[in-house]
Amino acid sequence: MAAEVLDGRALARRIEDELRAEVDTFVGMFRRRPKLVVVLVGDLAASASYVKSKAAAAARVGIDSEVVGVPGTTTTEELISLVRDIAVGRQGPADGILVQLPLPVHVDTVAVLDAVPPDQDVDGFHPHNAGLLSQGRPQFVPCTAAGVQRLLIDAGVETAGKHAVIVGRSDIVGKPLALLLAAKPPRTAAPGQGGGCDATVTICHSRSADLAAITRQADILVAAVGRPKLITAGMVKPGATVIDVGINRVDGKLVGDVDFGPVCEVAGKITPVPGGVGPLTVAMLLANTLLAAELRAQRG
């Protein structure tokens, strides 16, 4: 039987509807709109396209956004100084700051991301926010991990006591998602604030031995690698929920890490690429930006 395909676009539209109402309330109270500033370095077409879709989504819910574009030759020190200027509002007030990745190879990405103050870190990459998440008291949760969690909740996927296998151990996706899935409830926290899911979590990576033997044990299987067709039908337990985070371009088309057609015949639920996790990542960014605006308003 073919798996139920989880429609990330439809869920993202519903989250946007909720956020639009919350932004209206914020505007009514504070007489200004939340603002997101995105730093775009260089002229990578994929990055420009992601930034465009984030700005369009922000506009749909009433969040102001600004893209600060700088040449690909910009140095680490110049970028740190730019981020600090944006943070203190020298370029106009910013609630949330996002540095679009990847940065050029000559740039120290960690140093630049660390320059984003934790209260404006809507990507949730700062060590302060990573630390809070690891202690089960999250402030800003990385958007893709939060989006996967929201998708599981919305699809009614039982997580408590279930075995979740995450393939990929990055700081951006795999690790924060593992923390969210393993954490104690409440799992009904607001989008972007991440309650726990009570799952038993295994993280796999490029050096994991016999990957298929591990993935076949998963009730919830998440692929976050960046390799087309890495997850084949034989690696999936019948009835499992399969979440495909991967984004790969093959013959000009976007595909995930999962061999979608054959895996559909085995899985119980599955996300497509495109139209699965991607739209939720953007929706969670908007939720985090509103949260950043609320925190700033509280600080006065």
Q: CA 114, CA 126: separation in Å to the nearest integer?
A: 6
For ligand NAD, the closer CB: 139 or 271: 271
Q: CA 172, CA 170: separation in Å to the nearest integer?
A: 5
Q: CA 209, CA 214: separation in Å to the nearest integer?
A: 9
**Residue 141 touches ligand NAD, criterion: CB under 6 A:** no
Kindly state the number of chain residues that form the binding site for ligand NAD, as judged by CB under 6 A: 25
119 closest CA partner among 102, 132, 107: 132
Are 292 and 124 spatial neighbours (Cβ–Cβ below 8 Å)? Answer: no
In angstroms, what is the minimal distance from the CB of 171 to ligand NAD? 8
In angstroms, what is the minimal distance from the CB of 91 to ligand NAD? 27
Q: Which residues partner with 4 through β-bridges?
A: 269
- Please report, for residues 186, 192, 195, the alpha-carbon distance to residue 138 in angstroms, rounded to integers and kept in the order given: 12, 9, 8
For ligand NAD, the closer CB: 82 or 235: 235
Q: CA 145, CA 108: separation in Å to the nearest integer?
A: 24
Residues 260-299 interacting with ligand NAD (rule: CB under 6 A): 277-278, 281
Give catalytic status of residue 123 as yes or no: yes
166 closest CA partner among 201, 191, 129, 138: 201
For ligand NAD, the closer CB: 171 or 198: 171
For ligand NAD, the closer CB: 82 or 122: 122
- Contact letters (x/-) for ligand NAD, 206-245, by CB under 6 A? x-x--x------------xxxx--x--------------x
Give catalytic status of residue 149 as yes or no: no
Q: Interface residues with ligand NAD (CB under 6 A)?
A: 144, 167-170, 172-174, 204-206, 208, 211, 224-227, 230, 245-248, 277-278, 281
